[in-house]
Structure 1
């Protein structure tokens, strides 16, 4: 016998209440002296004996009634091991079918997802008329294909047959919790959950409480130890890439096997053209790291992929990338003395030759600088330049402020070398605070000279430098600076050793502002301009400022939404998926943000941004969650503990458990009828006792 509502068994304790009342009344009997009635003694003894028997009978009847009611509420179920029981309890079940991409592994007996669908169909076939079922497809999201329990088992069977593999990873928690939620409102109190999975991707899973009280079965798929290798990451050795400059492309390959990885060839494709092949060595139970050098010859987005040879899991044999190469960045220097700035921005220019820079710095024109005096700034057209670089201005004229506003509103970038020459601090500070996020104070002289420390050493501007590069005998020394306070929304990237900011980043309107608390034209304030640090520092700043003009993450995981903040006014945005389907038009919100959640396939997505008169084309690489490539399963017993589940290794074992759990006869109705009959008897006995 089993109980569908075992909590009500505690009600049996209430059966002792009549006994307690009976014992209490016995203690209340008092002896009362009365006149001698010796001739009535015999009749008294006979009556007392009869009343005592009636009281005992009433006590037993009342205790039995309470016990029967508690048993009926607990819904006892007689199992089929009794010869007279043949009734089958109605069942509500939820089938959770794992369709993460690891289920695409080809076992000897077939593809794991096909085996899982067959197993789900077998579970469904075990149900009968009056039973209910629902279906959840499990990946890193819970997809309730049939969310509401339905007695239409053919509908569920069709949904199972039509289920498709996804390119997503695994998240057990969401699907199991949804199954419990579905069963909370089930009509049938015999509730079951079936999790059909390869047990891969459970890393980090914590125990999940059984909120519905359902019986949970884990049905493992996969009849062999899976061996797999997959590409886990592709990245450039530096985040900001210039044209015609060598960059290392670093590749990580996961070896998810307990055996040595065979000699493997990785093919490298750029823009759909095969560029090279890389031979990988055999290694044991370890990830492989390889790299190769590449030069991007043209400005813009460069797309491609890496390809491993085909194996039993094809989905993770290819990984996509998008690298943005910057070149010809038009940077306008507004200063009376542009020599050092021009030499650092374009070392191959005559200024670079005059500065005596090492030939290794004589690179191609990644940056195309120009220079004008501050008095000429009103003649500048925003459309002609990418970066506005201001250095050592004596004042911020109205024309200068207008150009700053125009550049930032157009989504362009501004770099400022504050210098020591400002002569109108009140008006200047108001303008700086509103548009640059800083307030300047008095001049500060350092004797001995000070140096700088990096507040954010991981910032891409400092990528060429070690964290302690700016401290030491060869590091730049600073003799003078300005007191500076920053707005709460500004970020200090580097500071002097006395905590005064040296480099500040500020974002306003649609643009990005970088502010150096140093001079860009004279050696009086610091020797920064003639040290080997100035060229990479300034060039990285220009590259970073340019990269901020399209604020988007170009590397996403399948299912990760794309969010872009457009810096300039546009008419519309269209996104083309990698499967060749027509592009989808995306709506912009009032802040010029777009959000796209349709990244459900790996590949290269094409993003077309239409302006008033032109079209910009961007690219996005979407890849698989590499953790799903590790097919080594969690221990089955451990999985059972996490879910409070039954673990089943074979169909025969499952059939035996279902036969035990499902088949039986509920007898709560009979118990209630018996309780009512005893109530009637109790009433008759009580009335007869009172009359007697």
Structure 2
């Protein structure tokens, strides 16, 4: 038995009569003309006329069949077998995967893809009867939802788009498990998606070969090839020093996901609700670029910032949240027995006139100090100390804090290297390089190479007057050189939280004490050493867990987490490895999640969309090991029923129609007496 998926096209079969009508309308009655009696020629003429009439009849037939076959091909005939009738009426286990990722919030004309998906899902669910097992899987719901006549409307209504990326691999694992635990004669998998999902790898493990009578279908919801969307993918801070009153350069990574059209948008930077900067952006089709935008913080504390671009087809990725934290005071421990030297005097000046609160201690005093009260420790020309004290400094480093070492005369190279080794640092001192009585070393005369001096020179035309270094330790094993000498050796190195100068600041080592860079160098070196934590807030992707960790707080206080919707979730901290952990559940909405202690904010995490979802190439039917057939959005229920009961013959009829075109050309050449080839 044959049925048609597009039966409304069948009335077009009346067009098959067109070749016959044209034949009769074009017939002409032969006129008799007198001619000499040539009997032999008349016999030949009669034979040729009969042959031409046969070819003409066949030509009419071929043209008629071409129209018939073409119309039938577009009507999509489906042949039904006895087995098809049995399986069509048998019980079915159906697993429907609905894409609820953030790209499903994009608009297609007046509706979002999610709204279209819910309408088509309703059509699919209507196909099944009460004996069938129909499960709904989505990215947001971790467990499958069994749909029946009682909860169908409620289940469909509860489907909402999430702001996360769809984990299709996890959903295929769940589908495989459902087919195993709920076997039926019919086993059907449906995937409703815009298929803007990055093709990381073929899903080779999920072939469903062991599932009997398995069929898989996809409903591609993307209606328009042109996807007018610009996204903010990520941000990067370009400054090493984040200071109040200084310009912070923010790099925003922006992408145009429209492969056909150029996009123009405005990039706006907001500090809470106030716009503080704007930049115009022009993107070519498919282009990604980095856009610089400045921000000048006017006060210390936390700045809750967000970047916004103009609205387009997809709103979710038009914003990017982040926060910057700048301490009002930075507390440092300065360990030195040289109370009258210039560096000790400089630390007093910094304590009185800057955000630094520097606490001086002699070498025999600091071991009794609680180091956790300080943001970093400065060791100036220190002496050998006990194993217990070195272990205390090592634990301080491992806690995420910093130590700044200024060498001097009291220790040998071997003593310094032994100290570094016990701190588990790779830094090592080599020999002392001396410039001689009339020679010296200078800092590298390229400010760009010494990022610690950035912004010290407002007028770049002014000459750079570096101090003179007479002696210094060569260094090896460090992670990064913060300041270089003119011979490319390091003057200040960084290895983890350990910062090490190569030279002392006394007059027999360098001329820093009388150079105008002395105080700015100390200020910026101290500032960098104090920034043990990223000034950016913690950042997660929507759909991930909101987890805070903290130390130094009173566990008896009341704690809560405030999500972007301004509700409040009470939390009880859990102790682990000398830290307190706060579990805030899953980040559903993009925005700021704040950890509150007695109504005071003590932590912030910014949740944003994941840029991975819209990275090409996207998945296609070839990404799957199983046969994934495409269903049209029109008459889904009829297509599903026909697919259960038989197979389509449209390709067969299309081939027959093309064959009729070829045969027509052969007959025309026969009638005209022309050769078939040539």
Q: In which range does the TM-score fall when normalised by the shorter chain?
A: 0.5 to 0.7
Query: Equivalent residues in 2 for 1:237-256 (5 A)?
Result: 237-256=238-257
Structure 1 SS opposite 2:320: strand
Residues of 1 paired with 2:396 and 2:619: CA distance? 59
Aligned to 1:118: 119
The residue number in structure 2 matching 1:161 is 157
Q: Deviations over 1:363-397 (max 9, x none)?
A: x8354546555466589786875332111013437
1:414 maps to which of 403, 411, 433:
403
Q: TM-score with structure 2 length normalisation?
A: 0.65
Match for residue 135 of structure 2?
134
Aligned match for 2:607, one of 595, 605, 622: 622
Establish whether residue 185 from structure 1 lines up as the match of residue 181 from structure 2. yes
Match of 2:91 in 1: 90
Q: Residue 521 of structure 1 aligns to a residue in which SS?
A: coil
How far the C-alpha of 1:308 sits from its partner, in A, is: 2.5
Q: Which residue of 2 aligns with 1:223?
A: 223
* Distance in 1 of aligned mates of 2:205 and 2:358: 63
- Equivalent residue in structure 2 for 1:208, among 193, 204, 207: 204
How is 1:454-473 mapped onto 2 (pairs within 5 angstroms)? none
Equivalent of 2:171, from 168, 175, 178?
175
Partners of 1:397 and 1:546 in 2: how far apart?
A: 25
Counterpart Cα distance in 1 of 2:388 and 2:142 = 58
Cα gap change, 1:583/1:475 in structure 2, threshold over 3 Å: closer, same or farther? farther
Matches of 2:520 and 2:625 in 1, distance apart?
A: 53
**Offset from partner CA, 1:572-625 (integer Å, 9 cap, x none):** 553211111113314232311425342221101212357xxx966232221111
**What count of residue pairs does the alignment treat as equivalent?**
541
Shift in Å at residue 410 of structure 1?
A: 9.0
Q: Distance in 1 between matches of 2:348 and 2:261?
A: 49
Partner Cα separation in structure 1 for residue 327 and residue 251 of structure 2: 19
Q: Please name the residue that 2:563 is paired with.
A: 577
Residue by residue over 1:444-489, the C-alpha shift from the partner in whole angstroms, topping out at 9 and shown as x without a partner, is 334789999xxxxxxx997969xxxxxxxx99978554999x9xxx
Aligned counterparts of 1:584 and 1:298: Cα–Cα separation in 2: 30
Counting only pairs closer than 5 Å after superposition, residues 5-404 of structure 1 correspond to structure 2 as 80-82=80-82, 88-108=89-109, 110-138=111-139, 143-146=142-145, 152-156=148-152, 158-213=154-209, 214-224=214-224, 225-281=226-282, 283-326=284-327, 328-335=329-336, 336=338, 341=343, 365-369=354-358, 371=360, 373-374=362-363, 377=366, 385-396=374-385
Q: Deviations over 1:25-77 (max 9, x none)?
A: xxxxxxxxxxxxxxxxxxxxxxxxxxxxxxxxxxxxxxxxxxxxxxxxxxxxx
Contact 1:238 1:247 in 2 (8 A): yes
| Structure 1 residues 301 and 260: CA distance shift in structure 2, 3 A | same
Contact 1:429/1:438 (8 A) holds in 2 = no
Q: 1:83 to 1:374 in 2, by over 3 A?
A: closer
Which of 600, 605, 608 is the matching residue for 2:588?
600
> 1:283: how far off?
4.0
Match of 2:632 among 649, 653, 664: 649
CA–CA separation in structure 2 for the residues paired with 1:249 and 1:316: 18
Contact 2:267–2:308 (CA under 8 A) maintained in structure 1: yes
Q: 1-side partners of 2:474 and 2:95: how far apart? A: 68
Gaps of 5+ in 1: 2-78, 351-363, 453-459, 466-473, 507-512, 665-692
What are the Cα deviations for residues 665-690 of structure 1, in whole angstroms up to 9, with x where unaligned? xxxxxxxxxxxxxxxxxxxxxxxxxx
Deviation at 1:546, TM superposition (A): 3.0
Tell me the SS of whatever aligns to 1:193.
Answer: strand
Q: TM-score under structure 1 normalisation?
A: 0.64
Counterpart of 2:17? none
Q: What does residue 500 of structure 2 align with? A: 516
Distance of 1:536 and 1:642 partners within structure 2: 63
Measured after TM superposition, the shift of residue 241 of structure 1 is 0.7
* Distance change in 2, residues 1:135/1:476 (3 Å): farther
Question: How far apart, CA to CA, are the structure 2 residues paired with 1:638 and 1:343?
Answer: 72
SS of the residue 1:245 aligns to = coil
Contact 2:267–2:309 at 8 Å: present in 1 too?
Answer: yes
C-alpha offsets along residues 506-558 of structure 1, whole Å, 9 cap, x if unaligned?
6xxxxxx5252634433655788899998787656533443336899522221
Query: In 2, are the aligned partners of 1:420 and 1:443 still within 8 Å (CA)?
Result: no
Distance 1:372 1:446, change over 3 A: same
What secondary structure is seen at the aligned counterpart in 1 of 2:410?
coil
Q: In structure 2, do the counterparts of structure 1 residues 114 and 546 end up closer, same or farther at CA, with 3 Å as the change threshold? A: same
Q: Structure 2: which 5+ runs fail to align? A: 2-78, 443-449, 456-465, 648-678
**Displacement of 1:99:** 0.5
Q: Partners in 1 of 2:399 and 2:274 — Cα distance?
A: 36
How has the CA–CA distance of structure 1 residues 196 and 416 changed in structure 2, closer, same or farther, with 3 Å as cutoff? same
- Report the CA distance between 1:304 and its aligned residue: 1.9
Equivalent residue of 1:121, what SS?
Answer: helix
Q: For 2:279 and 2:535, how far apart are their aligned partners in 1?
A: 33
- CA 500–380 in structure 1, closer or farther in 2 if over 3 Å, else same: same
In the TM superposition, residue 561 of structure 1 has moved relative to its aligned partner by 3.2
For the 8 Å contact 1:429–1:439, the answer to whether it is kept is no
In the alignment, the residues of structure 2 paired with residue 284 and residue 264 of structure 1 have an alpha-carbon distance, to the nearest angstrom, of 13
Per-residue deviation, 1:176: 1.9
Task: Name the counterpart of 1:547.
Answer: 531
- Deviation readout 1:223-248 (Å, 9 max, x if unpaired): 22321112222332225411121121
CA RMSD of aligned residues (A): 5.0
Q: Look up the SS of the partner of 1:159 in the other structure.
A: helix
